[in-house]
Structure formats: C-alpha cells, structure tokens
C-alpha cells in the first residue's frame, strides 16, 4: 500500500495551539496540525481515527451475553477474509450510521475520499492483525470494501443534479447488463533506474505517477507495470423504473 501522501492531495493545513500537562510544575506547548483532503472540508486525521474506531470497535447488540463475539463485527469479517482467502469486505452503511452519523454522511457526500480511506485502513488493520511478521514483506493481497444498506433508497425519477458524486441507492428493474471489463484500482510503477516498485491509488479517475523515486531520488523515472497493477471487475447495467413507481 502507498503512504498516506500517496492517496490524497492536500490543500493546506491549519495549526491548532494546545497545551499538554506533563506534571504539576511544567507545561509543554505543541502544535496540532489539521490536514484537509483537496476539494473538501474533511480533516484527514480525524477521519482516520473514526474509521479505525469503527472497524475495530463496532459490535452488534444481538445478545446480553458479554462473551458473545469478543472480537468486533468487522474484525470478525477480516478473520473470515483470512480463512476464506476472499479479499473483499462488505460494510453495511447502516452500521456506520449506528456507530457515528457524522461518518455516515461523510461517506454519502464524499464517497471517493472516504471509501479510499476505508480501503487503506482495512488493509493496514488486516496486515497488523492477521498477517504473520515473516509474511508481511512479501504480502501483496489487497482488500476492497463494498458498501451496502444505505438509509435512503431512491427511485430513478427522483435522481437529479444534487446526487452527482454522491453515494446513492437505487431501486429499479435491470433490463440490460454489459460484459465484465477490468478496471484499474491500484496502479504499480517501477523505477527504470533502480527497479524500485511503488503502488499508487487512482484519484477521481486519474492515475498519479510518482514524481520522484524514494530509493534513488531520480525524478520522472517511473513506468507503469500492468501485470503488477490491481484490477477489479466493472460492469455497466441499464435500469428501468419498476412498475409500481410509474405514475
């Protein structure tokens, strides 16, 4: 996985002055930095904390037995990913809303940024908790998150310009499906000078090529290695309004 700076562009930082008390006789002043994702008001650091807490802390209240599911719901899901060797995690948006309504609305309003961050933290959490130390250097599996169960379900005729770039749920009749096409999700670049490999992510449909090699410091020396890139299946569907929604 790429580093944090490989996934998001930043539009700036704001410094928040704060005092931390070490003991009764001394006070240490530190600057807390808020990092915002480009084009949004999303504080990246705050968002990372919320996503991590959701993945590791959300539990279903199915029973009063405190010993039922000692592991959180989605940590159990990651355990299942390991057991089945199926690298996909389905996340219920209803669970996100129950855990933190603010995080849910950020998911709906900024899906490219929030889902990319979910993918990153899911993979970090999986490597930290379910991959043995001796396997981590060569571990190249990538888990992709899929969101279901949004609170609002719309009909086709209800969709307008306000839904552009938002995460929505539609109810309709599928009348046509396309063939399955490969879609690049994580490009892999190789430095032509030293052979260093770097995985990037795609932001708003654009592939970000590394500007400088972190190993040999050569600039603009990377080439795309297609057989090392991560692809997922992509399919187009054509929907029609269901009969009971037609006026």
Strand 170-171 to 230-234 pairing:
unpaired
Is 136 in contact with 127 (CB distance < 8 Å)?
yes
**Distance, C-alpha 32 to centroid of its chain:** 24
Average pLDDT, the chain: 79
What does the pLDDT look like over 65-88, one tens digit per residue?
Answer: 444 455 689 999 999 999 998 888
Percentage of the chain modeled with pLDDT above 90: 28
pLDDT score for 37: 65
Which residues 6+ apart lie within 8 Å of 247 measured at CB?
A: none
Q: Give 101-141 pLDDT, tens digit per residue.
A: 999 999 999 898 898 889 989 999 999 999 888 888 777 78
pLDDT digits (tens, 9 = 90+) for 134-170: 888 777 788 889 999 999 888 888 888 888 889 999 8
Q: What residues does 28 pair with on adjacent strands?
A: 20
What is the pLDDT at residue 232? 82
Per-residue tokens: 186: 């994580």
- How far is it, in rounded angstroms, from Cα 83 to Cα 164? 38
């Amino acid at each position: 996985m790429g580093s944090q700076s490989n996934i998001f562009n930043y539009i700036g930082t704001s410094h928040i002055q704060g005092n931390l008390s070490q003991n009764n006789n001394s006070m240490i002043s530190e600057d807390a930095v808020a990092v915002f994702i480009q084009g949004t008001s999303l504080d990246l650091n705050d968002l990372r904390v919320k996503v991590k807490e959701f993945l590791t802390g959300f539990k279903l209240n199915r029973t009063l037995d405190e010993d039922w599911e000692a592991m959180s719901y989605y940590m159990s899901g990651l355990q299942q990913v390991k057991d089945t060797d199926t690298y996909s995690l389905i996340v219920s948006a209803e669970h996100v809303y129950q855990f933190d309504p603010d995080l849910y609305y950020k998911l709906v309003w900024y899906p490219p940024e929030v889902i990319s961050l979910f993918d990153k933290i899911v993979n970090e959490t999986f490597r930290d908790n379910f991959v043995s130390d001796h396997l981590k250097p060569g571990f190249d599996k990538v888990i992709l998150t899929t969101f279901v169960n949004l609170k609002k379900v719309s009909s086709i005729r209800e969709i307008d310009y306000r839904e552009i770039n938002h995460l929505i749920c539609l109810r309709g009749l599928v009348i046509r499906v396309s063939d399955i096409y490969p879609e690049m999700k994580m490009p892999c670049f190789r430095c032509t000078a030293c052979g260093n490999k770097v995985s990037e992510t795609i932001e708003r449909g654009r592939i970000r090529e590394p500007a400088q090699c972190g190993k040999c410091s050569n600039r603009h020396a990377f080439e795309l290695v297609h057989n090392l890139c991560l692809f997922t299946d992509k399919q187009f569907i054509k929907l029609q309004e269901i009969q009971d929604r037609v006026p």
